[in-house]
Structure 1
């Protein structure tokens, strides 16, 4: 995050602040209380050097601090302010000593007055600049959070539309209605179960499509309904194994993530009784992993846009420091999506 001190017009601000501080000194008749042997142009030049040193010193301090990762902005601000106070004291005393030597006032009362004036002025300017920098950084952080929130909202909306689109896709409806039609004439019990699971899929999409996160337990219930439809369609062409540890069931993932991954898997792989598609869903802290054996089939490029996978990746950029991992080997394709454990405060 760029600080105020790195502003492109910083030298202009230094000049303006110098003129303002010098004018304020004259108006308040400060030199009447600090009778030091400096003419007004010399004092103006000293103020300029001091403000420039404080500004550039703070810029270098924040540039150095920015190289390190701090979980909270106020950590950075506190460290920067502490460092700048030390820098200001050294700078004020150093400049005071140098100019006292030049004007040969080291051994009389003027030297002490000069140092006091420099310290008073330097700490006042440093405090003023640190307050401005704090406001600047927090406003900048608020703007970035607003932009990220809006971007996440757009990505979530796209995911919601994609999930709904997948479920009302004519192919999806046609395939499932065809399966249901065949079951009604051959297996009434299975047809009733099929209708129930079919309604569960739509109910879940309509109920949870606008959420950012959902528990793994809820997502698994939906996934099992979705898998039921797939297995009735492909029969022994799909073999699924779920090995999600119970301790992770209350952890969170993005809604419909598993459905999108399964949709992607079915779209890109052969699934027949002779060459079954083997899908495994399991936990590998801190990830939920969906893997399948590679049996690639030719896919129409106009249909294969990988929007589902790219959408999941984008959503996790805002929700977790961990990234979605996509791994492809000679015989296996797997996607690892981060699982998120929310604290009790986050759930309120």
Structure 2
């Protein structure tokens, strides 16, 4: 607010207003101070300029410190502005009193008291407007963050859905289904059931910002059923999740996107099986790890948005970012668990597919 365009016009107007307000309340009649009114008017304008510019310099300094907590920034701003106002008031007021009243400081007491009262009111007015201005900026920033998060979330969900409804995915699963129907009717029925569960979850996932890990695991099991039916022994899946973690929350379809990333970028064959492990070690995060068997992926097929989108969605929710680790043999991604309430018990179970 202190750096707005044409601020000197506002400074002069505020100085004039403060002087007129003092005149209208007949302060000079009740407290004769012996200083010409023209000098007092000039002093009011000068002190407003000093307070305003002092606050501007201090506010720029505080902004450079990148203080993210709103009330802390307000406290720093207000404390600094009080000291600035006190210094400018005593300095300018003392000079004027010395030149127009007396060289003795004892004769300045009443004048300085009145002047300090007026200047602190000016400072309070300016800081009140500044707080409103900062609050407005914070609201705008929050709105932009919400819109950005919605965009990122939508991109992630659309990308996840795109991965599943693209012609390759449909063709591969329909080919598997067509092979199952004449050989194993029961398996084909189960395949269709799991196939429908996958799409039902994907279509409804956009309705929630976070979802219980237990729901995501149920979805992942259906998704992995399709993959294992297709790749057979070429794909080995192991899930190890403690029951205490199942009540925690994660971003929807995040585990699926990590599994999809592993499938997309690695060779899968019976002679070279791809091992994917989904597990929780510390109860505060979930890791998806796979052995590296890299294959060449077309740029058009790899959008490179998956990991970035997951990371940004977690950051928006106030969680630590995802952790990516890669060696010559393994690649892993760890995502945080979001706790809304403490679990009542803690024990570990293992589920292997």
Fold conserved between structures, TM > 0.5:
yes
| Deviation for aligned residue 1:115 | 0.9
What is the aligned partner in structure 2 of residue 332 from structure 1? 330
Corresponding residue to 2:146 among 124, 127, 149: 149
Which stretch of the first structure deviates more once superposed, 61-70 or 153-162? 61-70
Confirm or deny: 8 A CA contact 2:67 2:73 kept in the other structure.
no
| Deviation for aligned residue 1:228 | 1.1
Separation of aligned partners in 2, 1:316 and 1:322: 7
Confirm or deny: 8 A CA contact 2:228 2:235 kept in the other structure.
yes
- Indicate the RMSD between aligned Cα atoms, in angstroms: 2.5
Q: How does 1:218-237 map to 2 (within 5 A)?
A: 218-237=215-234
Separation of aligned partners in 2, 1:248 and 1:62: 45
Give the length in aligned residue pairs: 340
Confirm or deny: 8 A CA contact 1:293 1:333 kept in the other structure.
yes
Q: Quick one: structure 1 residues 35 and 130, their matched pair in 2 at CA, closer, same or farther if it must change by over 3 Å?
A: same
Runs of 4+ in 1 over 6 A off after TM superposition: none
What is the aligned partner in structure 2 of residue 272 from structure 1? 269
Three-state SS of the structure 1 residue aligned to 2:290 is strand
Separation of aligned partners in 2, 1:327 and 1:55: 51
Q: Quick one: structure 1 residues 77 and 227, their matched pair in 2 at CA, closer, same or farther if it must change by over 3 Å?
A: same
Separation of aligned partners in 2, 1:17 and 1:6: 16
Confirm or deny: 8 A CA contact 1:294 1:331 kept in the other structure.
yes
Three-state SS of the structure 2 residue aligned to 1:335 is strand
Three-state SS of the structure 1 residue aligned to 2:295 is coil
State whether structure 2 residue 196 is matched by structure 1 residue 163: no
Q: Quick one: structure 1 residues 274 and 127, their matched pair in 2 at CA, closer, same or farther if it must change by over 3 Å?
A: same
Separation of aligned partners in 2, 1:314 and 1:156: 9
Separation of aligned partners in 1, 2:9 and 2:99: 28
Q: How does 1:117-128 map to 2 (within 5 A)?
A: 117-128=114-125
| Deviation for aligned residue 1:225 | 0.9
| Deviation for aligned residue 1:187 | 3.0
Three-state SS of the structure 2 residue aligned to 1:299 is coil
Separation of aligned partners in 1, 2:2 and 2:240: 53
Corresponding residue to 1:291 among 289, 292, 295: 289
Corresponding residue to 2:78 among 76, 81, 105: 81
Which stretch of the first structure deviates more once superposed, 318-327 or 268-277? 318-327
Separation of aligned partners in 2, 1:87 and 1:307: 49
| Deviation for aligned residue 1:331 | 2.2
Separation of aligned partners in 1, 2:188 and 2:76: 67
TM-score (norm 2): 0.86
